């Protein structure tokens, strides 16, 4: 098969029409967040961006390869991403917009279509045609940016159609375009798409989140519900992207490189942390603060951070703040230090911390305050920082609001560290211009 370098240019008007048709769904989602003027401007800029990237979409066999549509749809989404990034939204905020756009795009089909699709999947002949269709798409595998999949025959009633995607064209294309971090949000489109046929998708792994396969299984029964944030999804929970897995030593060394800044942070923590209480640290990392504060046990999802903490004599529980593997009402004090910006769901994590605390228990939270001079610098430059690239920094007001929502009463707060220099900083009361902010809160009755 010949490579048609001008394929996308030759079919430009068709692709632009497709883009325009779907833009009303994007407008619907954007209107929830932006003014109408801004929405118009985002749509216009995205159209321009799409027109710009269209000729460079990888050729994978033209219309003969049904997956060309798939790749071209992902380029439309890439155009939106590029424009939304200019509005200083976080990766997660952009991800949420994309997910809502997909939900709107694949809104439920008619009852009749859903019933037909359910019956069809049970029909042997239909399945044979479908398998042939999927097999046909593998014919285009020799194109660098196409897909490679294998069909998984159903055994028993667990699912009616199975597909293991071994290579994904969108992943390859997005990685080429340095937009790899958004692929996992594009994968979410598959859920409302399958749902629109009255069917149910289960997937525990995706290539987008460092797995070697996307294990898609379609079943007739199941509980299709809307999900955002997607941290409950198996494919997200199985392997979360955590920079601390890869840069453990580098993180740990920071404390030796900046001993005076570390001391200032420790002093601020000591103002709120009560010694001699039964305490646990959530996101304990390598246990640097825990050792100084006399904490003996911590929760940590990263294996490499845990193993260093364990070598320092700490007891470790492998779990996530959003879903703590810790008993109800079991600790008098919980501390969480510079973890909030890495959480998938701060609200859910606070509700979990509430659950594990005893009556009148104390929650000490230290976080990097976005609303400070240094915080703004960190936030603006996070894309160039391997630790903070995916961080979602919060302001003091945002943290306090979430604490109150989860029935915590704020009783004290301090802030420190106002510059990059390694020196002992003053510990100031309240929320102020120190980026390292500590809040002490107490569990209240619901």
Ligand X SMILES: C[S@@+](CC[C@H](N)C(=O)[O-])C[C@H]1O[C@@H](n2cnc3c(N)ncnc32)[C@H](O)[C@@H]1O
Binding-site ranges for ligand X (CB under 6 A): 242, 244, 282-285, 288-289, 300-302, 305, 320-322, 337-339, 342-344
Q: C-beta of 79: minimal distance to ligand X in Å? A: 31
- Cβ nearer to ligand X, comparing 85 with 93: 93
Q: C-beta of 444: minimal distance to ligand X in Å? A: 24
β-pair partners for 113: none
Interatomic CA distance for residues 105 and 108, integer angstroms: 9
- Cβ nearer to ligand X, comparing 283 with 434: 283
Q: C-beta of 251: minimal distance to ligand X in Å? A: 7
- Cβ nearer to ligand X, comparing 190 with 300: 300
Q: C-beta of 404: minimal distance to ligand X in Å? A: 21
Q: C-beta of 407: minimal distance to ligand X in Å? A: 21
- Cβ nearer to ligand X, comparing 19 with 289: 289
- Cβ nearer to ligand X, comparing 73 with 302: 302
- Cβ nearer to ligand X, comparing 105 with 288: 288
Helix 396-405 vs helix 346-356: crossing angle, to nearest 10: 50
β-pair partners for 163: 151, 216
Interatomic CA distance for residues 18 and 69, integer angstroms: 10
Question: Torsion angle of alpha carbons 172, 175, 179, 185, nearest 10°?
Answer: 50
Q: C-beta of 18: minimal distance to ligand X in Å? A: 38
Interatomic CA distance for residues 33 and 284, integer angstroms: 35
Strands (E) across 248-368 are located at 279-282, 297-299, 315-317, 331-337, 357-368
CB nearest ligand X: which residue? 285
Alpha carbon 350 to chain centroid distance?
18
The structure tokens listed for 220 are 């007739």
- Cβ nearer to ligand X, comparing 268 with 282: 282
Q: C-beta of 265: minimal distance to ligand X in Å? A: 8
Q: C-beta of 378: minimal distance to ligand X in Å? A: 12
- Cβ nearer to ligand X, comparing 84 with 309: 309
**Helix, strand, coil percent values for the chain (each to nearest 5):** 50, 15, 35
- Cβ nearer to ligand X, comparing 49 with 91: 91
DSSP code of residue 189: T
Q: C-beta of 351: minimal distance to ligand X in Å? A: 13
- Cβ nearer to ligand X, comparing 194 with 314: 314
Q: Which among 350, 344, 352 has a CA at the least distance from the CA of 323?
A: 352
- Cβ nearer to ligand X, comparing 73 with 279: 279
Q: Which among 331, 330, 334, 307 has a CA at the least distance from the CA of 318?
A: 307
CB-based contacts of 147, cutoff 8 Å, min separation 6: 67, 137, 138, 140, 141, 165, 167, 168, 169
Strands 297-299 and 315-317 turn out to be parallel
- Do residues 405 and 446 lie in contact, with contact meaning Cβ atoms separated by under 8 Å? no
Q: C-beta of 30: minimal distance to ligand X in Å? A: 29
DSSP code of residue 139: G
Strands 357-368 and 331-337 turn out to be parallel
What is the strand order of the sheet 408-416 is part of?
315-317, 297-299, 279-282, 331-337, 357-368, 436-443, 408-416, 428-429
DSSP codes of every residue in 394-423:
B-HHHHHHHHHHTTEEEEEEEEE--SSS-S
Q: C-beta of 83: minimal distance to ligand X in Å? A: 29
Alpha carbon 414 to chain centroid distance?
30
């Amino acid at each position: 098969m010949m490579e048609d370098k001008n394929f996308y240019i030759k079919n430009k008007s068709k692709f632009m029409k497709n883009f325009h048709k779907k833009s009303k769904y994007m407008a619907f989602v954007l209107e929830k967040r932006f003014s109408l003027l801004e929405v118009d401007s985002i749509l216009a800029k995205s159209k321009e961006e799409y027109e710009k990237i269209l000729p460079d979409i990888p050729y994978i066999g033209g219309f003969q390869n049904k997956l060309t549509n798939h790749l071209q749809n992902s380029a439309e989404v890439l155009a939106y991403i590029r424009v939304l990034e200019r509005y200083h939204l976080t990766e997660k905020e952009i991800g949420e917009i994309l997910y809502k756009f997909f939900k709107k795009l694949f809104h439920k089909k008619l009852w009749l279509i859903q019933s037909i699709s359910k019956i069809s999947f049970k029909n042997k002949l239909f399945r044979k045609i479908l398998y042939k269709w999927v097999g046909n798409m593998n014919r285009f595998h020799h194109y660098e940016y196409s897909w490679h999949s294998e069909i998984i025959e159903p055994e028993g009633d667990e699912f009616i159609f199975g597909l293991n995607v071994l290579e994904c064209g969108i992943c390859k294309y997005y990685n080429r375009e340095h937009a790899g971090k958004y692929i996992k949000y594009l994968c979410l489109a598959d859920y409302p798409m399958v749902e629109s046929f009255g069917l149910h998708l289960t997937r525990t792994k995706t290539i987008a989140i460092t797995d070697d396969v996307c294990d898609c299984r379609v079943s007739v029964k199941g509980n299709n519900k809307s999900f955002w944030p997607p941290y409950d999804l198996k494919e997200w929970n199985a392997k979360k992207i955590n920079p601390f897995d890869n840069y453990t030593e580098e993180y740990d060394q920071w404390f030796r490189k900046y001993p005076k800044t570390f001391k200032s942070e420790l002093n601020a923590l000591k103002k709120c942390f009560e010694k001699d209480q039964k305490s646990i640290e959530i996101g304990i990392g390598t246990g640097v603060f825990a050792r100084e504060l006399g904490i003996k046990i911590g929760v940590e999802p990263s294996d490499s951070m845990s193993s260093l903490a364990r070598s320092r004599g700490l007891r470790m529980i492998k779990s996530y703040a959003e879903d703590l593997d810790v008993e109800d009402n079991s600790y008098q004090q919980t501390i969480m230090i510079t973890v909030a910006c890495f959480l998938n769901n701060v609200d859910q994590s606070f509700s979990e911390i509430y659950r594990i605390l005893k009556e009148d228990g104390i929650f000490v939270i230290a976080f990097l305050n976005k609303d400070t001079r240094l915080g703004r610098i960190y936030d603006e430059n996070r894309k160039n920082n391997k630790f903070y690239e995916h961080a979602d920094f919060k302001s003091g007001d945002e943290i306090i609001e979430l604490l109150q929502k989860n029935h915590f009463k704020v009783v004290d707060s301090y802030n420190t560290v106002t510059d990059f220099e390694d020196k002992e900083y003053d510990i100031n009361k309240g929320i102020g211009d120190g980026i390292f902010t500590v809040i002490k809160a107490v569990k209240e009755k619901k």
